Amino acid sequence: MQNIIEEIIFNFSNNKSLYIGENVTIADHMLQTAMLAERNKSSDNLICASLLHDYGHFLVEDPDKLVDQKIDGEHESVGANYLRKFFPENIIEPILLHVEAKRFLARDHTYFKLLSEASIISLKLQGGPMNDDEIKQFKSKPYYQEAINLRRFDEGAKNPKVRSKKIEEYKELLISKLK
């Protein structure tokens, strides 16, 4: 189990790719998301989910190329399914649902205006704003509210001027959340 922690730290430390269409790296984006969860006094589970929510981008080959080809790489499923063997459901489910949460929130014009250009492009690839039936189904899922909170942190975590924490600062949290 300790190997997954070393792998996570390695991937965060060695990833220099910009977050698709944004001015921060994928690693900085996830670190900023966790920092916002902390700042909002979220549970350790939500902080951990926020930290790992886009881990699937580390596992998907060339996420930028997928977007260029107008393909949704389903990073949320890739990441959640990979991490599921190491972390409990209360961390995995918000990760799995964070794209659905974006689609849910995108129906609100105030939220939609907050989306970056890159988020609007990916929203289209991910199915666009939810319809009424999809909303009802989404709201029936046990961790939908945590996913909404994570998604709100996600949108605020794309600032190139923010000095992100180091992934090593989250090592103890990650260890404490292993199954």
Single out the residue of 71, 52, 53 nearest to residue 62, CA to CA.
71
For the chain, where are the alpha helices, taking DSSP H only? 2-14, 26-39, 44-52, 56-59, 63-68, 75-83, 89-105, 109-114, 117-125, 132-139, 144-155, 171-177
Check residue 64 and give its pLDDT: 55
Cα distance between residue 164 and residue 117, in whole Å: 22
Identify the segments of the chain with pLDDT beneath 70.
Answer: 1, 18-20, 61-73
Cα distance between residue 119 and residue 155, in whole Å: 8
Residue 143: domain span? 2-177
Question: What b/e readout covers 143-164, taking b as 16+ CB neighbours within 10 angstroms?
Answer: bbebbbbbbbbbbebbeeeeeb
The pTM for the full model equals: 0.92
Check residue 165 and give its pLDDT: 97
Check residue 31 and give its pLDDT: 98
The 10s digit of each residue's pLDDT in 133-168 is 999 999 999 999 999 999 999 999 999 999 999 999
Q: How many domains does the chain have?
A: 1
Check residue 43 and give its pLDDT: 98
Cα distance between residue 96 and residue 98, in whole Å: 6
Contacts of 45 (CB under 8 A, 6+ apart): 88, 90, 91, 146, 177
As to burial, measured by CB atoms within 10 angstroms (0-12 exposed, 13-18 middle, 19+ buried), residue 46 is buried
Paired tokens of 92: 């995995």
Cα distance between residue 128 and residue 103, in whole Å: 6
Check residue 5 and give its pLDDT: 97
User: Measured at the alpha carbon of residue 152, what is the angle toward residues 55 and 36, in degrees to the nearest 5?
Assistant: 75
Check residue 121 and give its pLDDT: 85
CA dihedral over 86, 87, 89, 95, signed as positive or negative: negative
Paired tokens of 96: 């799995």
Check residue 53 and give its pLDDT: 97
Single out the residue of 31, 29, 18, 24 nearest to residue 168, CA to CA.
31
Check residue 159 and give its pLDDT: 94
The 10s digit of each residue's pLDDT in 14-27 is 987 766 677 899 99
CATH number of the domain that residue 17 is part of: 1.10.3210.10
